[in-house]
Chain A
Amino acid sequence: MVQAQEKKPRQAAAQVSDFKSGNEMAALSAKQINFHVMGYYPITPSTEIAELLDQMKADGEHQIAMIPADGEHGAAGLCYGASTGGGRVFNATSSQGLLYSLEQLPVQSATRFPMVLDLVTRSVNGPLNIRGDHSDLYFTLNTGWIILLAREPQAVYDMNIIAVRLGERPEVRLPVIVAYDGFFTSHQSRRVNYFEDDQTVQEFIGPMTEALTALDPRHPVTIGPYMNDPDLINNKYQLKLAMEAAQLAVPKVFAEYAAISGRHYAPVDLYCMEDADVAVLLLNSAAETAKDVADRLREQGVRAGVVSPNVIRPFPAQELRDALRNVRALVIGERADAYGAHGGNITHEVKSALKEDPENQTLCLTRIYGLGGKDFYDEDAEHFFGLALAAADSGRVDEPFDYHGVTPGDPTMAPAKLGLPPLRKEETVTGLIKVHVDEDGDGLRVEAPPAWQLVTRAKRFAPGHGACPGCGIFPALDQFFKGIEGDVVVLYQTGCAMVVTTGYPYSSHRVTYIHNLFQNGASTLGGLVEMFHERLRRGELPSGEEITFVMVTGDGGMDIGMGAAIGAALRNHHMIIVEYDNQGYMNTGSQLSYSTPLGHLTSTSHVGAAQTGKAFHHKDTPQIMAATNIPYVFTAVEGFPDDLLIKAAKSQWYARHLGMAYCKVLISCPLNWRSEDKTGTDVVQAAVDCSFFPLYEIERGITRITYDPDELGRRIPARSWLEMMGKTKHLIKPENKAELDAFEAEVNRRWERLKAMHESPLL
Chain B
Amino acid sequence: MRLARLQQKPERAATSTGRTARQKPAPALAIPENSADGFFGIRFESIGGLGAHLAGHMLAQAGVLGQGLNGAHFSSYGSEKKGSPLKSFVRFCAADREIRTSSPIENPQVVAVFHEALTKSHDVTAGLSATGAAIMNTRSTPDEARQRLGLNAGTVAVVDALGIAVEEGSRVNTAMLGAVTQICGFIDPEAVRETIRQTLSHRYPNLVEANLRTFDRGYQEVRRKTYRAAAGTEPAAAEHVPPAFGYLDAPIGGAVLDPGNTIVKDLTASRQGFIPVFDSEACVHCGVCDLVCPDLCLVWEEEQQGDEGPAVRLRGIDYRYCKGCLKCSEACPTEAMVSMREEEGYADDHRVALYAWLEPPRFESGVTRGTSDGSR
- Residue positions of A touching B, CB distance < 8 A: 12, 14-19, 21, 45, 126-127, 130-131, 181, 183-185, 187-191, 193, 196, 262-264, 266, 269-272, 285, 288-289, 291-292, 372-373, 375-378, 406-411, 413-415, 417-422, 451-453, 455-456, 459, 461-475, 478-479, 496, 499-511, 587, 638, 641, 670-671, 677-682
Identify the closest chain A residue to B354 (Cβ).
A463
Whole-angstrom distance between the alpha carbons of A188 and B75 in the complex?
A: 8
* Known A464-B263, A507-B262; contact A378-B294, beta-carbon cutoff 8 A: no
* Known A463-B263, A509-B259; contact A456-B74, beta-carbon cutoff 8 A: no
B376 within 8 A of A: yes
B81-A468 in contact (CB<8A): yes
B246-A508 in contact (CB<8A): no
A465-B17 in contact (CB<8A): no
B contact residues around A463 at 8 Å (CB): 262-263, 295-297, 318, 321, 354
A501-B77 in contact (CB<8A): no
B57-A16 in contact (CB<8A): no
Whole-angstrom distance between the Cβ of B103 and the nearest chain A Cβ: 5
Whole-angstrom distance between the Cβ of A260 and the nearest chain B Cβ: 10
A407-B297 in contact (CB<8A): no
B83 within 8 A of A: yes
Identify the closest chain B residue to A482 (Cβ).
B291
Known A289-B103, A456-B300; 13 more pairs at CB < 8 Å:
A17-B21, A375-B103, A408-B246, A415-B244, A452-B291, A455-B300, A456-B312, A464-B267, A467-B294, A475-B294, A508-B262, A510-B259, A638-B292
Contact indicator per residue, chain B 294-321, by CB within 8 Å of chain A (1) or not (0): 1111101110000000101000001001
Contact indicator per residue, chain B 242-254, by CB within 8 Å of chain A (1) or not (0): 1111111110001
Closest 10 CB pairs of A and B: A409-B246, A452-B287, A464-B262, A419-B261, A462-B260, A420-B260, A470-B325, A288-B100, A262-B12, A469-B323
Identify the closest chain B residue to A639 (Cβ).
B292
B247-A270 in contact (CB<8A): no
* Known A185-B102, A408-B247, A678-B327; contact A468-B19, beta-carbon cutoff 8 A: no
A contact residues around B3 at 8 Å (CB): 271-272
Identify the closest chain B residue to A308 (Cβ).
B2
Interface of A is mostly: loop
Query: Which of B70, B244, B263, B293 is A191 in contact with, Cβ under 8 Å?
Result: B70
B189 within 8 A of A: no
B264 within 8 A of A: yes
B73 within 8 A of A: yes
- Residue positions of B touching A, CB distance < 8 A: 1-5, 8, 11-12, 15-17, 19-22, 37, 48-49, 57, 60-61, 64-65, 70-75, 77-84, 99-104, 106, 242-250, 254, 256-265, 267, 270-272, 286-288, 290-298, 300-302, 310, 312, 318, 321, 323-327, 329-331, 339, 354-355, 358, 369, 371-372, 376
* Known A16-B21, A504-B254; contact A187-B302, beta-carbon cutoff 8 A: no
Whole-angstrom distance between the alpha carbons of A264 and B12 in the complex?
A: 11
Whole-angstrom distance between the Cβ of A710 and the nearest chain B Cβ: 25
Query: Which of B79, B82, B330 is A130 in contact with, Cβ under 8 Å?
Result: B79
* Known A474-B294, A504-B254; contact A499-B71, beta-carbon cutoff 8 A: no
Query: Which of A193, A289, A470 is B101 in contact with, Cβ under 8 Å?
Result: A289
B20-A18 in contact (CB<8A): yes
Identify the closest chain B residue to A501 (Cβ).
B262
Query: Which of A18, A462, A471, A475 is B263 in contact with, Cβ under 8 Å?
Result: A462
A504-B256 in contact (CB<8A): yes
Identify the closest chain B residue to A184 (Cβ).
B102
A263-B5 in contact (CB<8A): yes
A131-B102 in contact (CB<8A): no
A contact residues around B327 at 8 Å (CB): 470, 475, 677-678, 680-681
Whole-angstrom distance between the Cβ of B105 and the nearest chain A Cβ: 11
B262-A462 in contact (CB<8A): yes
A contact residues around B84 at 8 Å (CB): 466
Whole-angstrom distance between the alpha carbons of A291 and B15 in the complex?
A: 28
Whole-angstrom distance between the Cβ of B56 and the nearest chain A Cβ: 9
Whole-angstrom distance between the Cβ of B51 and the nearest chain A Cβ: 13
Q: 11 A-B contacts, Cβ less than 8 Å apart?
A: A413-B249, A418-B376, A452-B312, A459-B296, A463-B297, A463-B321, A468-B81, A470-B294, A503-B372, A670-B325, A678-B325
Whole-angstrom distance between the alpha carbons of A420 and B371 in the complex?
A: 25
Whole-angstrom distance between the alpha carbons of A587 and B78 in the complex?
A: 11
B contact residues around A378 at 8 Å (CB): 37, 101, 103
A19-B290 in contact (CB<8A): no
A contact residues around B75 at 8 Å (CB): 187
Whole-angstrom distance between the Cβ of A620 and the nearest chain B Cβ: 27
Whole-angstrom distance between the alpha carbons of A15 and B48 in the complex?
A: 35
Whole-angstrom distance between the alpha carbons of A464 and B258 in the complex?
A: 14
B contact residues around A266 at 8 Å (CB): 1
* Known A507-B262, A638-B291; contact A189-B72, beta-carbon cutoff 8 A: yes
Whole-angstrom distance between the Cβ of A658 and the nearest chain B Cβ: 29
Query: Which of B8, B270, B372 is A264 in contact with, Cβ under 8 Å?
Result: B8
A189-B60 in contact (CB<8A): yes
Whole-angstrom distance between the alpha carbons of A280 and B137 in the complex?
A: 44
Query: Which of B21, B83, B318, B358 is A469 in contact with, Cβ under 8 Å?
Result: B83
Query: Which of B1, B259, B323 is A511 in contact with, Cβ under 8 Å?
Result: B259
B265-A464 in contact (CB<8A): yes
Of A185, A291, A406, A507, most buried by chain B (CB within 10 Å of CB) is A507
A contact residues around B74 at 8 Å (CB): 21, 183-184, 187-189
Identify the closest chain A residue to B66 (Cβ).
A19
B294-A473 in contact (CB<8A): yes
B291-A418 in contact (CB<8A): no
B contact residues around A18 at 8 Å (CB): 20-22, 65
A466-B259 in contact (CB<8A): no
Whole-angstrom distance between the alpha carbons of A678 and B102 in the complex?
A: 39
Whole-angstrom distance between the alpha carbons of A378 and B102 in the complex?
A: 10
B262-A465 in contact (CB<8A): yes
A contact residues around B292 at 8 Å (CB): 475, 638, 680-681
Identify the closest chain B residue to A193 (Cβ).
B16
A contact residues around B15 at 8 Å (CB): 12, 14-15, 262
A contact residues around B2 at 8 Å (CB): 269-271, 291
Whole-angstrom distance between the alpha carbons of A141 and B49 in the complex?
A: 40
